[in-house]
Structure 1
Amino acid sequence: MDVFADDPNFCSACGTILPLDNSSLLKCIKCGQKSDLAKMNLPAKTTRIYFNTPAKTKTAAQEEAAHATVSDGPIADKKCRKCEHQGLTYMTLQLRSADEGQTVIYTCPNCGSKEVENS
């Protein structure tokens, strides 16, 4: 009994995941079984999802609007090194390995300058 007979993602003989390509004939990398996509009972429509598509470039007006809203987020009692403004917004990220501390990025709501602190 071919459990994977109608699924184009798996080899019908051994169940190994088949490599994705644009050809109508797929060959299993483990057992060599060849599957013809035209003979399978596939849905009429397939959907492809793309992840991590490149972002569109921002215009100067969009960049200014982004700086106008930098005050969103929690505020730390810290002074800006550039303009001496008291009260910087911040966010934390885990950019290094899990056994090391987090990275804190401070943003001045007044001038938009950024400071990075590895804690």
Structure 2
Amino acid sequence: MLYFCPTCTNLLIVEEGSQGMRFSCVTCAYIFPIKRCVSYKIYPKLKALDDVLGGAAAWKNVDAIDEPCPKCTHPRAYFMQVQTRSADEPMTVFYKCCSPTCGHRWKE
């Protein structure tokens, strides 16, 4: 967490004082004693792979190819290519099983 001086708006630094730890300003004489430890972590929720690829609508107008599903061995799968890495790397191919009961997704 960053705290700023209410007097001169400079960033406060943490230092050890005579009564313990405190925030102090290097520009003016402002001092704020630290009475308790305040810390917490917030982890952002990662997006699902479908959201990154364009959601459910991304699979509407894709082509099918003769690629067997590794889960149900259905002979055909939908596919799309997405550039997931830098431009000098090959595109990543994403597959979705054509079987309506399976719908397994994998990538190459």
Q: Shorter-chain TM-score category?
A: 0.3 to 0.5
Q: State TM-score, norm by structure 2.
A: 0.42
The structure with more strand, counted as a fraction of residues:
2
| TM-score, scaled to structure 1 | 0.38
